[in-house]
Chain A
Amino acid sequence: MNNLKEFYYPENIAEAQKLLRDESVKKAIIAGGTSVALLNTGSVEGMVDITRMGLNYIKQDGGFVKIGATAVVEELARSPITKNLANGILAKASSEIASRPLRNMITMGGNIVQLRIWSDLPVVLLALDGQIKVQGDEERTIPADDFFREQPLKTLAHFDIVKEVVLPKTPETSGAEFIKLSKTKGDYAIMSLACYLEFEEKTCTLARIALSSVTPLPRRCKKAEKVLEGKQLTPELIAEAAAVTREKTKTISNIWGSAEYKSVVLENLVKKSLLSCADKAGIQI
């Protein structure tokens, strides 16, 4: 069903890039492989398996949590490091992806490099101000906001390798929430959203509202964030932010639900998650 003739197992990034730069044989990268196996790989003849390069780490490094690109989402779901970061929303989002055997295969990098129906992690990266480290000719660090501006695969060079995701540790006075709405547990998201609020005293100093599946690409609703920032939050203000999110988001109808339904639910769930963020930050509203 495909034209694959060779698999390569580089032991480090340099070796992988060398293989990818050699274009005598058309090559592609494979990590977890769950989507590769389903897709027609066309004229690709060589697969560069990047799962054996030591990129499967989850570690703390100063004020940051660093996640190797080939860390599998099951590990993200269980690691004490991710569980303790930002109310554990990355762990929560990871635990709700697909089913156990697939979570053992799906990687961090795979979930964010191709934005597909199953990409639940980008909203978390957007909400937590994540950065993506890519090794090209040289190493570059791309903020999540920029990384997801279009399909990452379209902007990455064929020899680029996504190495690592970096998430800053969040302060005590912050709260984060992730909610995925799906027909059944482990199903594709009808919508997924991640919110993050930071406070000084009782004032909300930073708000991020990120959503996915209801829009063509995962994105933040900055207009709604602005409603909250610099203010002491009230139920009315949170309701307003939720309403603005709904207003600014053109939802689409598909087999998972109508646009109208998704708009209603979006508003409800943004409200719910903002309240939850505030609660987790210890802010009474």
Chain B
Amino acid sequence: MIIQVKINGIDKEWDVDPGMILLDLLRDKGYKSIKRGCDEGYCGACTILLDGQAAKSCVMLAGQAHKRSITTVEGLGTMDEPHLLQKTFVEHGAVQCGYCIPGMLLSSKALLDENPNPTEDDVKEAIDGNLCRCTGYVKQIEAVLDTASIMRGEN
């Protein structure tokens, strides 16, 4: 069937098998920033934004995305013009192997979009679905808080 999605601001019409897992579909379509870590909804490497909210694409069927908007890290920023979150993540040493990072960035973006003034607990809650085995999360939490304060014009 044909599904319509707006992905990273661009309208697409895809003829797909609606029972396909959304993660598989998006990677097939070239959105390789979305990673596969468990296929079971636990690790969060496949996190996307669906209508602005973080969601795990490995436990969604393609049909569920019909007429919805999707954001991936490809739509967040580029290497020439990175999103502030991407920049601060790197500056804070929050990126180690980087496999979980696209998902974590999107969860963080969803948070900052609705709460420009998050507490540390808010950040922890917002990225609790993104497992990372490299970092211990300390630097990522710092990076999100720092991004928020920069966005608020505080430093």
Report which A residues bind B (CB closer than 8 A).
1-7, 9, 30, 33-38, 41, 47, 49, 51, 74, 98-102, 104-105, 185-186
A33 near B41: Cβ-Cβ < 8 Å: no
Given the interface pairs A5-B1, A6-B18, A100-B128, the reply to whether A34 lies near B41 with Cβ below 8 Å is yes
Nearest CB of chain B from residue A110's CB, rounded to whole Å: 12
A49 near B107 (CB under 8 angstroms)?
A: no
Question: Which among B60-68, B79-87, B137-145 touches the partner chain?
Answer: B60-68
- The residues of B that contact A30 with a CB separation of less than 8 Å are 61, 63-64
Cα–Cα, bound, A23→B77 (Å): 47
Given contacts A99-B128, A100-B125, contact A7 B60 (CB under 8 A): no
Minimum CB–CB distance for A43 against chain B, Å: 12
Q: How far is the CB of A101 from chain B (nearest CB, A)?
A: 4
B127 lies within 8 A of chain A by Cβ: yes
* B150 contacts chain A at the CB level, 8 A cutoff: no
CB-CB under 8 A from A99, the residues of chain B are: 44, 128-130
Measured CB to CB, the closest approach of chain B to A74, in angstroms, equals: 8
Judge whether B19 and A101 touch: CB under 8 Å: no
**Known A33-B60, A37-B21, A47-B63: A101·B47 in contact at CB below 8 Å:** yes
List of 4 A-B pairs having minimum Cβ-Cβ separation, nearest first: A4-B19, A99-B129, A7-B63, A101-B54
A101 vs B63: C-alpha distance when bound (angstroms): 18
- Cβ contact within 8 Å between B59 and A2: no
Q: Are A47 and B61 in contact (CB under 8 A)?
A: yes
Contact of A38 among B17, B41, B107 (CB under 8 A): B41
Report if A100-B127 is in contact (Cβ < 8 Å); known contacts: A4-B19, A105-B56: yes
B126 at the interface (CB under 8 A from A): yes
CB–CB A33/B59 < 8 A: yes
Residues from chain B with Cβ under 8 Å of A5 in the complex? 1, 17-19
Query: Interface of B with A (CB < 8 Å)?
Result: 1, 3, 17-19, 21, 40-41, 44, 47, 50, 53-56, 58-61, 63-64, 66-67, 107, 125-130
Which chain B residues border A6 with CB–CB below 8 Å? 1, 18
Closest to A2 in B: B19
CA distance A49 to B19 in the complex (A): 12
Residue among B17, B18, B63, B126 making CB contact with A100, cutoff 8 Å: B126
In the complex, what distance in Å separates the CA atom of A247 from the CA atom of B71? 52
A-B contacts, 30 listed (Cβ < 8 Å) = A4-B17, A4-B19, A5-B19, A7-B1, A7-B63, A30-B61, A30-B64, A33-B59, A33-B61, A34-B60, A35-B59, A38-B41, A38-B59, A41-B19, A47-B18, A47-B19, A47-B61, A74-B53, A99-B129, A99-B130, A100-B54, A100-B129, A101-B44, A101-B55, A101-B56, A102-B41, A102-B129, A104-B54, A105-B59, A185-B128
**For B21, what are the chain A residues with a Cβ–Cβ distance below 8 Å?**
1, 37
CB distance from B66 to the nearest CB of A (A): 6
Question: Which of B19, B55, B56, B125 neighbours the largest number of chain A CB atoms within 10 Å of its CB?
Answer: B19
A4, A74, A104: the one within 8 Å of B18 (CB)? A4
Residues in chain A near residue B129, CB distance under 8 A = 98-102
| 8 other A-B residue contacts (CB within 8 Å) besides A6-B18, A7-B66, A101-B54 | A4-B61, A7-B61, A30-B63, A33-B61, A37-B58, A51-B64, A101-B53, A102-B129
A106 to chain B, nearest CB (A): 10
CA distance A6 to B128 in the complex (A): 33
State A33–B63 Cα separation when bound (angstroms): 10
Residues from chain A with Cβ under 8 Å of B47 in the complex: 101
**Min C-beta distance of A130 to chain B, whole Å:** 26
Contacts A7-B18, A100-B125 hold; do A49 and B55 have CB atoms under 8 A apart?
Answer: no
